[in-house]
Amino acid sequence: MFALLNLASLVLGLAAWILPIINLTREKKQENTSWIVLAMISISACAISLYFQIVYGNYLVRIEDWSALMDTRGALVLVGAVLLIVTLLLNVMTVIVYRDKTAK
């Protein structure tokens, strides 16, 4: 069951990037009134994805699989930072694009 946390984390991480991209591509085609909901879902997906990695790390500590922890934590820190930074940048770009359209 705990191995599925990594898969779920990957899927949610991809969703965190795809949703703002969908928002940005729909910007020119039609009135997009649900952009804020998609942005909030994107940030939530990123947070849940990172939480799943924390839970999986906790599982590795409980079963005392120290070699798995030492092998994966460095890469996880880098990937987690990239996920967070890209998600925030994409959502900030979405807010900037839609800010002027919403104000009109």
Contact call for residues 48 and 85 (beta carbons, < 8 A): no
What DSSP designation does 1 have? -
Residue 83: both structure tokens together: 């996920």
Specify the pTM: 0.89
- Give the C-alpha distances (Å, rounded to integers) separating 67 from 13, 59, 60, 64, 103: 25, 13, 9, 9, 54
Question: Has residue 32 got a pLDDT over 80?
Answer: no
What is the pLDDT of the chain when averaged over all its residues?
91
pLDDT band at 103 (very low <50, low <70, confident <90, very high): low
Scanning the structure block, which residue is given the tokens 């965190």?
16
Question: Has residue 68 got a pLDDT over 80?
Answer: yes
Indicate the domain borders of the chain: 3-103
- Quick: pLDDT tens for 34-51: 889 999 999 999 999 999
Question: Has residue 101 got a pLDDT over 80?
Answer: no
pLDDT at 26: 83
Contact call for residues 15 and 55 (beta carbons, < 8 A): no
Which candidate, 40, 39, 66, 53, places its Cα nearest to that of 11?
Answer: 53
Contact call for residues 20 and 94 (beta carbons, < 8 A): yes
